[in-house]
Structure 1
């Protein structure tokens, strides 16, 4: 249903309005609806669109959360909820391939993964260079002292499928969904919130959940968010090679000498493309305005990555066969913002994914639902407090 098709009488009442139905918003909608709340989800574009942060056909899943050890319980819970969503919808959403975190033992990637694994007793395997080459021969040019942390529970999540499945499950539980509806403001009233749309309609609800991804900072301006433009690239080897299949090249992050990090995975069954990319690290990508984003991807966008791949993953070719320009919201400390800004009883925000948030989508949805209902989340997430920057 589009916003234009929604009758004025139908827009009048809801317990919760969820603004933005990317992965986090769709998961929150599902969790709120299955708890019996009257919930309306509002999406500016269509479901599983290419405009925000929740696209790209595949995303890495891991519980060895090098970004912050406190994220490990959230990732574990997210895996359980992904499996629940699979059961509820009969849709395959998570492919268990294992995950590799590669680099110097004292580097950010490997050291962070090891610290998270040790703190939470994760099942991991550490491979030296010879064992890594045997396990995943596509990786070349390994510097002395570089190792791999292998997490058997890691794998791939499928973002577009996940969003559609979560929204479908939410609808089955009674949620209403408005697509093609741009929200221009969230106003706090004496009785709750008024969600204003570009078409001049107003959605009234008791509380608002704002999960608008790169547009979160526009709707909740006090949050210190910047929007990062990230090229996403796929490569097709000139000659088919078993080294580049998903079984031999599972999802990975690899820190190179000099600090750059490449990431990706091998070809999915029935496909010919590898997905390979470059992590930002604050050095490569541009800060942009999501309203005026240039979606073209010129050679300059993948030049650094191509130079690295020539020796680190040789044989994939010098230029991508396909490329898109995606965007995500980033916080100053690289952690999420999840909670009630300034204790506002009518607002919950969840955003600032900082390019590592998709793996937590289903768990974040549950945390958001707990916050809406005044419950403490099952694990401490104080490091995501929206007020921590004040």
Structure 2
């Protein structure tokens, strides 16, 4: 660790301006903190985790009951960001969690709803088939848990809105600027970039798939996840967003599919497969092949004709997404080794986008040394150290 300190460039630097970093930048700037944001690509780019036109929003967090308060707060803050920027960012379509009543998806959603008093509606298989005809092939022993507060968050719009609001509040942004290293020094940190070093009091590292390159102590894997869209052979009212709201569905055998119906003025459905550690490749984000091939949709193509008849097996569009995964599937969110100079935020494990606005607020509180508004000890980065 260096022993001298030169004049600083800002109070705080946020490294990585995906969904979490952009929302942290917004929250810090609106509190009057002198903050600079750095991203190696452009704002709302396709290289990391926060792209693909839509993301599921729900408060029945089956991944961990402790995430429910964070999701509720995130919904409130999405409304605040919408009001501040005049941009629609969250479509409240409702969300369906489907599968065996005691399974991971429907059972986990019911458990979270019971623990936190969430308003949900439980539908048996017959009621599900009437309510959502696209799921007509649902087995008799499966159920649907409908959450009215769920819906679709719009990732690219959210990132652009958060960065715009942060800039309006005084934040400085360096995009297309690669961070090559982070050095903790007496009283602060140095963010080394290809342009020049940035000297700050505190640094937030929210670099998504590149987080473990900058903070190698964290045991993160980077997963390549294909994202797929499908176009029905002919117009079909079953596949509109109104009739096919955003969903996660556990199938017999353990596979989980997810997706939603056609957005306004679009003829494509977005449908995908959850990894669960079984299907997708762990990759190096620096050398990942972004081209696509039938391997990227072959498993899903074998599932969809049976699970959602009428969609077809061949996607109309495919992209490759990246996300960082922790060994226990929970985020890393907090100071590193209790050092207030560095806050790390990442390891979204594919379920983190819906919490982006709330996580931005949590990061701002951590930077200011404030206690968390709700318990998030299960996200402590030091649990892996």
Fold shared by both chains (TM-score > 0.5): yes
- Whether 1:170 aligns to 2:163 is no
Whether the aligned pair in 2 keeps the contact of 1:94 and 1:158 (CA below 8 Å) is yes
| Structure 1 unmatched runs, 5+ | 1-10
Given candidates 215, 218, 223, the residue that maps to 1:220 is: 215
**Alpha-carbon separation, structure 1, partners of 2:37 and 2:125:** 48
Shift of 1:333: 0.3
**Alpha-carbon separation, structure 2, partners of 1:36 and 1:153:** 32
- Matched with 2:324 is 329
Counterpart mapping for 1:152-231 below 5 A: 152-199=148-195, 201-231=196-226
Shift of 1:226: 0.4
Post-superposition Cα deviations, 1:288-330, rounded to whole Å, max 9, x if no partner, equal 0000011111101111111110111111122100000000000
TM-score of the pair, normalised by structure 1: 0.96
Whether the aligned pair in 2 keeps the contact of 1:140 and 1:311 (CA below 8 Å) is no
**Alpha-carbon separation, structure 2, partners of 1:257 and 1:318:** 19
Shift of 1:12: 5.0
Whether the aligned pair in 2 keeps the contact of 1:62 and 1:154 (CA below 8 Å) is yes
Given candidates 26, 37, 41, the residue that maps to 2:33 is: 37
Aligned-partner SS, 1:345 = strand
Counterpart mapping for 1:202-281 below 5 A: 202-281=197-276
- Matched with 2:4 is none
Whether the aligned pair in 2 keeps the contact of 1:246 and 1:268 (CA below 8 Å) is yes
Aligned-partner SS, 1:314 = coil
- RMSD value over aligned CA atoms? 0.9
- Matched with 1:117 is 113
**Alpha-carbon separation, structure 2, partners of 1:257 and 1:232:** 22
**Alpha-carbon separation, structure 2, partners of 1:242 and 1:347:** 50
Counterpart mapping for 1:310-349 below 5 A: 310-349=305-344
Given candidates 79, 83, 87, the residue that maps to 1:83 is: 79
Aligned-partner SS, 2:323 = strand
| Structure 2 unmatched runs, 5+ | 1-6
**Alpha-carbon separation, structure 1, partners of 2:366 and 2:78:** 20
- Matched with 2:3 is none
Give the 4+ runs in structure 1 shifted more than 3 A: none
**Alpha-carbon separation, structure 2, partners of 1:319 and 1:22:** 30
Whether the aligned pair in 1 keeps the contact of 2:137 and 2:309 (CA below 8 Å) is no
Whether the aligned pair in 2 keeps the contact of 1:61 and 1:359 (CA below 8 Å) is yes
- Matched with 2:131 is 135
Shift of 1:198: 2.3
Shift of 1:130: 1.1
**Alpha-carbon separation, structure 2, partners of 1:32 and 1:297:** 38
- Whether 1:26 aligns to 2:17 is no
Whether the aligned pair in 1 keeps the contact of 2:129 and 2:138 (CA below 8 Å) is no
**Alpha-carbon separation, structure 1, partners of 2:252 and 2:312:** 22
Given candidates 96, 99, 102, the residue that maps to 1:106 is: 102
**Alpha-carbon separation, structure 2, partners of 1:198 and 1:280:** 35
- Matched with 1:7 is none
Aligned-partner SS, 1:153 = coil
TM-score of the pair, normalised by structure 2: 0.97
